[in-house]
Chains A and B, each alone.
Chain A
């Protein structure tokens, strides 16, 4: 696959001194050391939404840097950075059940993010079929604004109405699923299932929007 840019998606799993001294995470320093994200994921899988959000935010930040670099190296602007970040995060989210919690988190998260990043960038490279010399003006111009096209808002319209209502309620209004369930006259479990399927469909939509 010679045309694929070498993507540096190795996530930084290095733990600083500050991390070890802060007590925000599971207390046992033996466990925390080196597997901080793993600990976050463990409690997340047990249903801790706050830790999970924190883990995803940290992953997003780490991914953003490497994806920006990879896109720049393959001569594509920054416009797609958030799209790719979201694709990778959704993959982590949807596949997290395949992580065996008794194994270290590092190899799993690195494998998942690397595969998905390369996959997303490869699809973008392929769909960018315009010869490069036609793009010289664009490339020489000012850097594109990030997020210009990164609106999942557009993709949200591909979801069913009920899915949209629920995704908006939990994401934009920050409401709890139990709360949303009550106002929609559904059970909490029902809302969670709809939310889960909505995220799965979003991942599919995001993927096909660049194939």
Chain B
């Protein structure tokens, strides 16, 4: 078939053009919240001391990091999913959760001093955190890669990486509600490793599965 004939066929298909990105995003996030919520209730549960003021404050501080990370990376993911809005400077938005974490760490040093920072960084549930967060993140990651497939990412690796970061952000939000380690140093170290691992998986998945 010559190109002109192919064009005739495409012209006859003028009407079917949907943008599935918004719908799939809602579905991916919605289903992830339900699944992770169920896993949280059945397996993790709230940390037992969440009735105390200290634990509530510490958990809120952790959540500001995980939620800002989820929001920022989800926003950037949606921007990368579709061409034409390409703006590398908006990637600086990812600095926001990082700055929040740095401020929290600085505040901790200011209130507790430098002594024993290694112990606070290692904490007591590091390995559990490292196992749970990526496992939980796999659910939203699959959904967000499906979002990318509906779009047309022109940097599939970067888009996949953002999907990984967003998925980890959502997963660690749930995990933070159950984990009794509160130091921002612990969050920076263990959550950081988890984010890095899932981001790399996301990048590879993006390259393989969201090409078009």
Pairing of A with B = yes
Identify the A interface with B (CB < 8 A): 44-45, 47-50, 52-53, 56-57, 60, 82, 85-86, 89-91, 93-100, 103-104, 107-108, 111-112, 114-115, 119, 147, 150-153, 156, 167, 170-172, 174, 176-177, 192-193, 195-196, 198-199, 202
Query: Are B86 and A171 in touch, CB under 8 angstroms?
Result: no
Tell me whether B43 is interfacial, beta carbon within 8 Å: no
Specify which of A45, A171, A176, A199 lies most central, judged by the most chain B CB atoms within 10 Å of its CB.
A171
Interface majority SS (helix, strand, loop, mixed), chain B: loop
Task: Return A49 CB to nearest CB of chain B, in Å.
Answer: 5
Interface positions, chain B 4-44, Cβ under 8 Å from A, are 4-21
Query: Are A171 and B3 in touch, CB under 8 angstroms?
Result: no
Query: Are B6 and A152 in touch, CB under 8 angstroms?
Result: yes
With A49-B14, A98-B151, A199-B10 already in contact, 16 other A-B pairs whose C-beta atoms are closer than 8 Å = A49-B12, A53-B7, A53-B8, A56-B10, A60-B7, A95-B151, A98-B152, A103-B84, A107-B85, A112-B83, A115-B152, A150-B3, A152-B6, A171-B1, A196-B13, A199-B13
Candidates A96, A108, A112, A170; contact of B8 at CB < 8 Å:
A170
Q: A98-B82, A108-B84, A156-B1 are in contact. Are A167 and B7 (CB under 8 A)?
A: no
Task: Return B93 CB to nearest CB of chain A, in Å.
Answer: 20
Expressed in whole angstroms, the Cα–Cα distance for A53 and B73 within the complex equals: 38
Task: Return B147 CB to nearest CB of chain A, in Å.
Answer: 11
Expressed in whole angstroms, the Cα–Cα distance for A187 and B6 within the complex equals: 23
Specify which of B2, B9, B12 lies most central, judged by the most chain A CB atoms within 10 Å of its CB.
B12
Task: Return A1 CB to nearest CB of chain B, in Å.
Answer: 12
Residues of B within 8 A of A60 (CB): 3-4, 7
Expressed in whole angstroms, the Cα–Cα distance for A86 and B9 within the complex equals: 12
Residues of A within 8 A of B1 (CB): 151-153, 156, 171-172
Tell me whether B109 is interfacial, beta carbon within 8 Å: no
Task: Return B61 CB to nearest CB of chain A, in Å.
Answer: 37
Tell me whether B154 is interfacial, beta carbon within 8 Å: yes
Q: A111-B86, A172-B5 are in contact. Are A90 and B152 (CB under 8 A)?
A: no
Expressed in whole angstroms, the Cα–Cα distance for A82 and B10 within the complex equals: 16
Task: Return A169 CB to nearest CB of chain B, in Å.
Answer: 9
Q: List 5 A-B contacts (CB under 8 A).
A: A52-B10, A111-B154, A112-B152, A112-B154, A153-B1
